[in-house]
Amino acid sequence: MSGILRLTIRYLLYNRIKTITLVLCVSLAILLPVLLQFGVTQFERDLMARANTTPLVAGMKGSRFDLALQSMYFNQADLEPTTMQEVETIQETGYALPIPLAVRFTAQDASIVGTTLDYFEFRKLQIAEGTSLQRLGDCVIGCNVAERLQLKPGDRLMSDPLNVFDLSGNYPLKMRVVGVLAQAYSPDDDAVFVDLKTEWIISGIGHGHQSINAKTDTALVLQQQGQSTVANAAVPQFNEVTEDNLASFHFHGEIESFPVTSMILVPYDPKSEVLLLGMYDTKESAIQLIRPVEIVNELLQLIFRVKQLFDANTLLVSISVGLLLALVFILSLRLRQRERQTMFQLGCSRSTIWKLQLTELCFIFAASLIVVLILTAVLRVYIHQLMQMWFI
């Protein structure tokens, strides 16, 4: 090791607090723009990946952004629901496979997604533990939900009431966890999936209650209509579907009128997609069809405009940090003036003294780059979790 390197290392180690402070300052100045660019790039990649695998989304006319975000990311939005009649209409056209979605409720702050088994095949979701949906009251949870709530197959998960003060509203349902999904690094990891009929039970369209005997349970009978008995609101309803009470659950009304919030449409071929878009591209149609890719592109254009402001702010911060570091080095040179004079009197040339100063700077910048690389490598490992936590 040369004398310059030895003296530089000994000086930096002796003044370790000053060295660590300078390394951290330089690291932050480099890290801020790197993290911003890395985060935006990953955010764009995740958004486009989800949108590219979702050909079409259908729902009632309204906010296109709310419709796309709720259908792809299960965000809670106040969307006007459509009905199963529209699902059957699209099914009968033979143009696309409709996958209905009902996203209106939550369970421990995780969105409850009512859908069909076609959704699992469409998203290529795999069951890591347990089985798929089997009967009413069953749910399959994402891996993040299972980890956060410490749930496994066989446990119970209660849905959240919409309003705890509304006694006439929906009844929370205690769902049976039958499966845990393998990690997909998507919003599916943070959702609770149930059958559509289970979602309708949570909403109050269907329910189960004890059998009523008009002769013995007179206090629970509202009126007698021939062979049928109409019970009043005092009849206790089941809040869990079990093998014993499964047969008592029933629905009121025609299934064609039951609500779904939106549909994912998977056209069978490009021609069918064009025909389907043309069928609903009328003023008379209450249904709108959107391409999620177009919606996401609009969102990204807005994000990039905001990013320009962050870039300008980051540039100003970097300049400020650079000027501050320059001031620190200038003051350090002034404080070390006697040290340089002593080294010069001992026989060191002025060029050697400046080489020592430049070597210190190189060590500080090299250490800062190493810190940035380590933090970036850690970020790559946890990028999907961080993106879901902060953005999605």
What pLDDT, in 10s, does the model give residues 131-188?
999 889 999 999 999 999 999 999 999 998 876 545 445 578 899 999 999 998 888 9
Instruction: State pLDDT tens for residues 209-229.
Output: 655 544 444 544 444 555 444
Q: How are beta strands 228-231 and 262-267 bridged, if at all?
A: unpaired
User: With bands split at pLDDT 50, 70 and 90, how would you rate the model's confidence at 236?
Assistant: low
Q: What pLDDT was estimated at residue 282?
A: 82
Identity of residue 334: R
Average pLDDT value for the chain: 80
CA distances (Å), 308 to each of 32, 153, 385, in order?
14, 47, 25
pLDDT exceeds cutoff 80 at 198: yes
Task: Answer for the pair 237, 209: CB distance below 8 angstroms, yes or no.
Answer: yes
Q: What pLDDT was estimated at residue 385?
A: 63
What does the CA dihedral 42, 48, 53, 59 come to, rounded to 10 degrees?
Answer: 130
pLDDT exceeds cutoff 60 at 233: no
Task: Answer for the pair 56, 265: CB distance below 8 angstroms, yes or no.
Answer: yes
CA distance 153 to 131: 8
Query: What is the longest distance spanned by two Cα atoms in the chain?
Result: 118
Q: What pLDDT was estimated at residue 96?
A: 92
CA distance 194 to 291: 26
CA distance 264 to 232: 39
Task: Answer for the pair 8, 363: CB distance below 8 angstroms, yes or no.
Answer: yes
Q: What is the mean pLDDT of residues 24-52?
A: 78
Q: What pLDDT was estimated at residue 151?
A: 93
Q: Which residues contact 142 (CB under 8 A, 6 or more apart)?
A: 110, 180, 181, 184, 188, 189, 190, 191, 192, 193
User: Regarding predicted confidence, which is higher, 210 or 382?
Assistant: 382
CA distance 301 to 385: 24
- The DSSP line for 141-210 is E-HHHHHHHT--TT-EEEPPPS-TT-TTSPPP-EEEEEEEEPP-SSGGGGEEEEEHHHHHHHHTSEE-B-
Instruction: State pLDDT tens for residues 67-114.
Output: 998 999 898 878 889 999 999 999 998 899 999 999 999 999 899 999
Tell me which H or E stretch contains 221.
Answer: strand 221-225
CA distance 260 to 279: 20
CA distance 292 to 71: 9
Q: What pLDDT was estimated at residue 148?
A: 92
What is the DSSP secondary structure assignment for residue 382, as one 8-state letter?
Answer: S
pTM of the model: 0.72
Burial class (CB in 10 A: 0-12, 13-18, 19+), 211: exposed
Q: How are beta strands 262-267 and 96-107 bridged, if at all?
A: antiparallel
The candidate with the shortest Cα–Cα distance to 133, out of 228, 204, 198, is 198
Q: What pLDDT was estimated at residue 216?
A: 42
The pair phi, psi for residue 250, each rounded to 5°, is -150, 170
Task: Answer for the pair 177, 158: CB distance below 8 angstroms, yes or no.
Answer: no
User: Regarding predicted confidence, which is higher, 387 or 277?
Assistant: 277
Distance from the Cα of residue 267 to its chain's centroid: 26
